Amino acid sequence: MRPLSDFPRVGLAHCPTPLELMPRLSELLGGPQLFVKRDDCTGLALGGNKARQLEFYFGDALARDATTVLVTGAVQSNYARTVAAAAAKLGLDCHIQLEERVPGMGEVYHGSGNVLLDQLLGAKLHTYPEGEDEGGADRALNEIAKGLEAAGERPYLIHLSEEHEPLGALGYVDAALEIIQQTDQKQVPLKTIVMASGSAATHAGMLVGLRAHGRRDVAVHGICVRRGQNAQKRRVTRVVRKTEALLDCIGVVHDDDVQVTDEFLGPAYGRLTESGNQAMLLGARTEALILDPVYTGKAFAGFLDLVRKGSTGPEPVIFLHTGGTPSLFAYGPEVLEIAKSSVGP
């Protein structure tokens, strides 16, 4: 495998993040030992998985002498917020294009959470009306970049569509080795990891990292948070192949290594679900885990279901907490009602 040191990189994330036992939850469910990999603790502007990914994008941006960075994403995009934070930290301008992926949302959604942080961090905001048009969103972002270039800027674009080189996945190739080392140190058998699967960079990077380091015995379960499982499986597989190509390790991941389920997605991206709501409450009230309704709440629901059904066997199970805390506040009124209507774990 080509070494990660071949790629320009800038330090942004607080790593290694903790790998913590969840003793109360493990006891409550009466199954295997349950662990959480705390990538909500990566540190950059309230943390999350994007900090690891952006080390490689911003390394490339600085190597290209960029003056401004552009990204597109949902209104409550954790990625966009972390891009704004990295740009501020490194002295670059930042332009964010916000896509309307969740129709019918009100003032709180459009003015709090990640949007509030985007503006606090000094990003210039643009809007794109379509929520499920990645190609169109990329083209619109390209037009913004052309305008900036005409004004003398040197723009660097971070596209979220899978058509582009997945530099961000390298952050989770690295994280896979970190998890291998931590489980070895703790003498915890590494057999199962569960995570949210959306843009697919985290999921693909983890698979490539594990397999490239010889860990064919570790199952990675992706819980769909954006699209149905058939489309998501195809997307993860394509990003895996692009990541393998970057690292000169084509074929280390087999097609059947890509495991996803859309059972916990609900009606659409960004919509609350009963299983996700209950997972958020359980995580908070047993282990003080702050989960969000869009990504980690749904992923944690899938994690709990796998454990309860015994699908992971008797070996320990790791939940990858990918962050997303700010978006919780964008759903504040709904989450408050959920919390008030329920007592106990």
Give the residue numbers marked as catalytic.
77
Residues 6+ away with beta carbon under 8 Å from 90? 10, 58, 62
- The Cα-based distances of 96 to 21, 190, 262, 331 in angstroms read 37, 38, 29, 21
Which H or E run contains 319? strand 317-321
Q: Among 188, 134, 210, 173, which Cα is nearest to 49's?
A: 173
Residue for token pair 């959604």: 109
Q: Among 190, 182, 244, 196, which Cα is nearest to 218's?
A: 190
Q: Among 287, 310, 327, 311, which Cα is nearest to 37's?
A: 287
Residues 6+ away with beta carbon under 8 Å from 145? 70, 155, 157
Q: What is residue 17's DSSP assignment?
A: P
Which H or E run contains 240? helix 229-247
Residue for token pair 């190609």: 135
Helix, coil or strand: residue 320: strand
| DSSP strands (E only) in 148-278 | 155-158, 192-197, 219-224, 259-261
208/213 Cα distance (integer angstroms): 8
228/105 Cα distance (integer angstroms): 22
